[in-house]
Structure 1
Amino acid sequence: MTSPPIGRIASFKGFLAVLSLLLAVTVWVVGLMDSLSRPSVAPALSLQQQEMALLAGPALPEPVRPLLVGADPAQVLLESLQEIPLDRLDDRQRLLLASLETDAEQQRRLLAAPLGGAGLNPLQRALAEDSDRTSLSAAERRLLEVAPADPLLRQVSCLALGGTAQECEQPAVARSTARRLLLAELLPLLALLLGVGLLLRHLWMLWRGDLPRWPRLQGLPLSLIDMVLLVAGGFVVLGEVLLPLVVSPLTSWITRDLRGPLSQAAAVLVGYSALALPPLLIIKQQLGGLDRREAPEGGWLQWRLQPVGQGLLQGGRAWLMVMPPVAFTGWLMGRLLGDQGGSNPLLELVLRSRDGWALALLATTAVLLAPLFEEMVFRGVLLPVLGRSIGRGWSVFLSALIFAVAHLSIGELPPLLVLGLGLGLLRLSSGRLFPCVVMHAFWNGATFLNLILLA
């Protein structure tokens, strides 16, 4: 006797789910292992911050200068550059290190190799030709009146060639850099302090029993097999592996006439859109098979946009409250295991980009598309379905773990797990998906803004 059509369909779905799960686990394991060889953005951020400290020092008020830039920012930057192997120093870093270096022999060694002179200003070329100088020539003093492209190299090469602090200072640059450094340092600190206060208040109210009861979790009538097909099949196999191969020629055609940073940003936008398309189509198909008359108030995904103000407040407050535990987790992992690398390549693109249109495209991807898509998958569909099968607590943990693993970075996995837990708890406590998107957008937006300030 042949199986009924429904039985054959169920068997086929089960086979696809098992195959997708095996392929997804393979992709995730390989991706996580590869992340160990990917560079971390942390060293680049640290160097950027130290360079800003050296430039901003003269413009900072005396009382706060030691707190923001330390006692000797030049020495801190020198020591950081000395830790980089010589064969990994680019021309700029080599000139920077040579200008800060006090050991004459080491300075000559740094300047012995040919430099790419096309990118050097006259002061830097003079340093490369003759570093044993005690004063600036009249011609070089006149050159100082024209600001070159790299203010920090101008300053340190001027001092290295014998210029005085007054000759080499750049008041306008120092003031501008000081403002950016203050924002980059103080905004995260203020957010952390506010987050600690809100978190302590929340825990106090929880202990007193003053928090409102959580609304009933509205789970979609889908199976765990449907979730495997969505996450493993749609998100990983189709979105991360197969569709990028198809879209790659289209991406090359779209970006063929664009400049470097803009081309990379456009490729990121197109690539992320391609990644999101298969899971979104699967969600559309899965929701289309449900009886709309049985949908709860607010729809199956529980977007519940109204009231908008309350949703924004819930998302913003949750973002502040999750910052302290995420920051502590990242700090603890760094202390225990060191820098594991594997940073999201998008962070490096933002840090290095100087193109406004490129930054706009990267911001669209990170602050708009990523929160919308990821929250729809992980907190809109996956968490409620898991909640029906394994309970609220385990659904929050498992959805957060899958969310963290899907980013394919061992170094960032623990902080992302904590962030995912916060997003899951917000989904349960608010009964809405909209605040989760807001919280996620705040998180990505704050990271993006901090990179822009340090760039």
Structure 2
Amino acid sequence: MSPSPRPAPSQPEAAALPGASPQGRPPAGWKSLLALLSLALSVLIWLNGLAQSLQRPSVGDALSLRQLELTALAAEAAGDRAEPGLFGADPRADLVKALRRLGESAAVPVPVAQRLELALLERGDSPEAVRVQLLQLEEMVDAPRRPLLQALAGGRPLDPALQRSLLAPWTPSPFLSQLVCEQLGRDPSACPAVRSGGRLLLQWAVVTVLPLPLLLIGVGLLLRQAWLARRGRLSAAPPLSGPPLDLVDVTLLIAGGFVLIGEVLMPQLLQGPLVALLSGLALPFALEQGIQVLLLYLVLMSAPLVILAAMLRGRGMPPAGGWLQWHWRPPASALARAAAAVLMVLPIVALSGWLIERLWPQAGGSNPLLDLVLTNPDPRALACFAFTATLLAPLFEETLFRGVLLPSLARRLGPLPAVLASAAVFALAHLSLTELVPLLVLGVGLGWLRWRTGRLAASVLMHSLWNGLTFLNLLVLAR
């Protein structure tokens, strides 16, 4: 896609010194020095964060296992109607292989719940060996979880209500509930694969079948964009305007306000009192997690947004649409452009993720919020996570990276290099080395949409849709 011609700069801008404001006034010496210092410290913090991200467990293995579990449950729910081409010849055997492979290669101990699943799946091969495994697992769990292991070792049938009470401390996946029901239940029709068969088939279709047409539509839209660009039929992009901040201001905002104050200083000052306050409320731990994530993100947002507001004060009359060029109206067209951009980015992100998984299969470093969504059972906590991921994060991150950084870089580099550079900063800011390339692709899509539409609202909606699809996928796999 060829960029639209860059408008010639006005005379004051053409004479501006590197790093000077759009009005041509060079920044004060102390300001430039503070910006350089902030940038150097931020680079060190981000490099350290990227290196440490490899020590975090990857949520990819957990997602793969959940998908295999869902496939096995869906195949059993379909019963005689199950097609091997859809579910595989033996989904449970595939799950056993995956669990064994995880146990052999995991850099961190395999969760006890997954060890229990493997033991129950292997029970038919050697019941006595499995009984020994169950007794060994008793030594690895806390007191509330031991009664279930003792009941499984005994093997006597139990009422469904008693099964649920024994399972509750485990926060079980649907598949673990199915296995326990098969071992301790009196009536197979009371097990999840039969009792919730329709819902399981729908969940499986959403996770496994629905992505394929979305990927095909995305590929078609990408090919159409390439054809229009080749034929010179792409509509001209509007001017990429933004706040009248120079690169020194933007560096202070992102490196100083976002990284040093928002990510480092504010959490250090407020996380302790916040945790103490929430602990004093005697909330359930799962809900406390959700509220803590929400409040800490608000803390992260506050410093850079206050700094941005201070920088814009006294800058004169903003242009039509405001300094950030939100242009929410008409909302339908913004949403349509955002949805199309999500579909176009989807196949490229999927391909990059697939390549990373093949080239670097044991890499860790997933966003910790993904694991929280996957394992947290409290709907109120999930509502906090959803609000943070689908509303707060898109508004805040698009304000910084596509509302401020992208236009500022475009004044120096031109639109397309600015889209790439701002996407690189966006990807680095997430401090996940293994997710760097997919995040870079997403950032390019967000920046391209901001440039081609001239509307920050479209980028916010695209970001929100992307996070919403990710959140929905996690919920479907977890429940």
Q: Which residue of 2 aligns with 1:119?
A: 145
AA in 1 matched with 2:84: P
Q: Mark the CA change 1:61 to 1:325 in structure 2 (over 3 Å): closer, same or farther.
A: farther
* Alignment counterpart, residue 57 of structure 1, candidates 72, 75, 80: 75
Q: Which residue of 1 aligns with 2:319?
A: 296
More deviation, 58-67/91-100: 58-67
Q: Which residue of 2 aligns with 1:35?
A: 53
CA RMSD of superposed structures (Å): 2.6
| Counterpart-to-counterpart distance in 2, 1:94 and 1:336 | 27
1:230 aligns with 2:230: no
* Alignment counterpart, residue 338 of structure 1, candidates 361, 375, 389: 361
1:80 aligns with 2:98: yes
Write the mapping of 1:56-455 to structure 2, written as runs, cut at 5 A.
56-60=74-78, 65-85=83-103, 88-101=109-122, 102-104=124-126, 106-115=129-138, 116=141, 118-119=144-145, 125-129=150-154, 140=157, 143=159, 148=164, 149=167, 152-153=175-176, 155-157=178-180, 159=182, 170-256=193-279, 257=281, 258-292=283-317, 295-455=318-478
Alpha-carbon distance, 1:339 to partner:
4.2
Alpha-carbon distance, 1:230 to partner:
0.8
Query: 1:29-85, CA deviations, whole angstroms, 9 ceiling, x for partnerless residues?
Result: 100000011011111111112222222222227666434432111111112222243
Aligned residues: 437
| Counterpart-to-counterpart distance in 1, 2:72 and 2:361 | 26
| Counterpart-to-counterpart distance in 2, 1:248 and 1:154 | 36
Gap runs ≥5 in structure 1: 1-6, 131-136
Alpha-carbon distance, 1:188 to partner:
2.5
Alpha-carbon distance, 1:349 to partner:
0.7
Normalised by the length of structure 2, the TM-score is 0.84
| Counterpart-to-counterpart distance in 2, 1:66 and 1:128 | 33
Alpha-carbon distance, 1:403 to partner:
0.2
| Counterpart-to-counterpart distance in 1, 2:163 and 2:344 | 44
Q: Mark the CA change 1:9 to 1:422 in structure 2 (over 3 Å): closer, same or farther.
A: closer
| Counterpart-to-counterpart distance in 1, 2:32 and 2:39 | 10
Gap runs ≥5 in structure 2: 1-24
Q: Mark the CA change 1:118 to 1:237 in structure 2 (over 3 Å): closer, same or farther.
A: closer
| Counterpart-to-counterpart distance in 1, 2:236 and 2:81 | 48
Q: Mark the CA change 1:69 to 1:437 in structure 2 (over 3 Å): closer, same or farther.
A: same
Q: Mark the CA change 1:389 to 1:255 in structure 2 (over 3 Å): closer, same or farther.
A: same
SS of 2:28's partner is helix
| Counterpart-to-counterpart distance in 2, 1:349 and 1:67 | 33
AA in 2 matched with 1:383: L
| Counterpart-to-counterpart distance in 2, 1:440 and 1:167 | 41
Is the contact between residue 135 and residue 150 of structure 2 (CA under 8 Å) also seen in structure 1?
no
State the percentage of identical aligned residues. 45
